[in-house]
Homo-oligomer: A and B are copies of this chain.
Amino acid sequence: MNPETWKTSITKIEPNKIVVRGYLLDQLMGNFSYCQLIYLLIKGELPTRNVGKILDAILVSCVDHGVSPPSCQNAMIAASTGAQLNAAIASGILAINEFHGGAIEKSMQFLEAAADMMNQEKLSPEEAAEQTVKRYLDNGQKIMGYGHRLHTEDPRTGKLYALAQEYGISGRYIQLSRAAKDAIKKLNGTDLPINVDGAIAAVLCELNIPSELANAFFIMARIPGLVAHIYEEKKRYQPMRPINFSLAEYDGPTEREI
């Protein structure tokens, strides 16, 4: 046996056969959605249809946010210099970090800390949330997932939580995220909405996704948006125009019903 042999548990490739986590890829096609495959690849097991649907809703919720996010700006700037599509996308992804997109991971860590306290000390969600918020505030740690630069009531949060309820996925983490909103108001005096990062964090916690992979969900979600902006830049504008992002005006379709 070659001593350098090493193992991978993800995908087996043989002639005319691709087996992902034990399942034939061609049998998965048509029967399971892309979002269910994300779960299969990360967790090793096929999720229910409803898990696929809530992941779909998460990806849809972050699919684009106009030209102000740094990831969009990097992708557009790179495109404007003549970058190939993959390089422009990569450039955008390199701007998805702690302060842009990264709040999901931090928010999951907060909710996991609250859930641990709830378990270990046999507390109600309200008590656990309050004690965790207090500990964060005492330590001068920022609690991520609350408040938004622009949205005083993030429209994506309410919808995501309603869908989680409908799909039977809502549980202690969503309870904790709501209880923490109240605790922050009580202890810190700030009345902040749960933002989309906080809502996604709670749902990913319900699905038992590792927090260190949170950023991947934001990255996957945002790529269609990056691609649309890259394509618009290449089709609509001369290369190397100076792009002043604060002077963009929307000229797409007016608001319409689904």
CA distance in complex: A246, B5 (Å):
9
Indicate whether A4 reaches chain B with its CB closer than 8 angstroms.
Answer: yes
- The answer to whether A81 and B96 have CB atoms under 8 Å apart is yes
- The answer to whether A4 and B244 have CB atoms under 8 Å apart is yes
CA distance in complex: A251, B87 (Å):
33
Number of copies: 4
Indicate whether A113 reaches chain B with its CB closer than 8 angstroms.
Answer: no
CB distance from A218 to the nearest CB of B (A): 9
Q: Which residue of B lies closest to A43 (CB)?
A: B228
Indicate whether A121 reaches chain B with its CB closer than 8 angstroms.
Answer: no
> B residues within 8 A CB of A252?
8-12, 21-22, 44
Using a CB-CB cutoff of 8 Å, which residues 101-150 of chain A contact chain B? 101-102, 150
CB distance from A114 to the nearest CB of B (A): 24
> B residues within 8 A CB of A29?
57, 60-61, 156, 159-160, 163
- The answer to whether B66 and A95 have CB atoms under 8 Å apart is no
- The answer to whether B99 and A240 have CB atoms under 8 Å apart is yes
> B residues within 8 A CB of A244?
4, 6, 244-246
CA distance in complex: A78, B64 (Å):
18
Binary interface encoding of chain A residues 44-70 relative to chain B, with 1 for a CB under 8 A from any of its CBs, else 0: 101000000100110111011111101
> B residues within 8 A CB of A151?
15-16
Beyond A10-B228, A23-B258, A223-B216, whether A84 also contacts B85 by CB under 8 A is no
Choice from B100, B213, B225, B251 contacting A7 with Cβ under 8 Å: B251
- The answer to whether B32 and A60 have CB atoms under 8 Å apart is yes
Q: Can you name 25 A-B residue pairings with CB atoms under 8 Å?
A: A4-B242, A5-B248, A8-B66, A22-B254, A24-B255, A27-B258, A30-B159, A37-B224, A38-B224, A42-B228, A73-B77, A74-B78, A78-B95, A78-B97, A81-B97, A81-B101, A86-B87, A86-B96, A87-B87, A87-B94, A89-B216, A99-B239, A212-B234, A219-B223, A220-B220
Known: A11-B225, A26-B156. 6 other contacts (CB 8 A): A6-B247, A23-B256, A27-B159, A34-B60, A41-B225, A87-B87
Closest 9 CB pairs of A and B: A22-B253, A82-B98, A9-B252, A82-B97, A99-B239, A90-B90, A12-B250, A41-B228, A34-B59
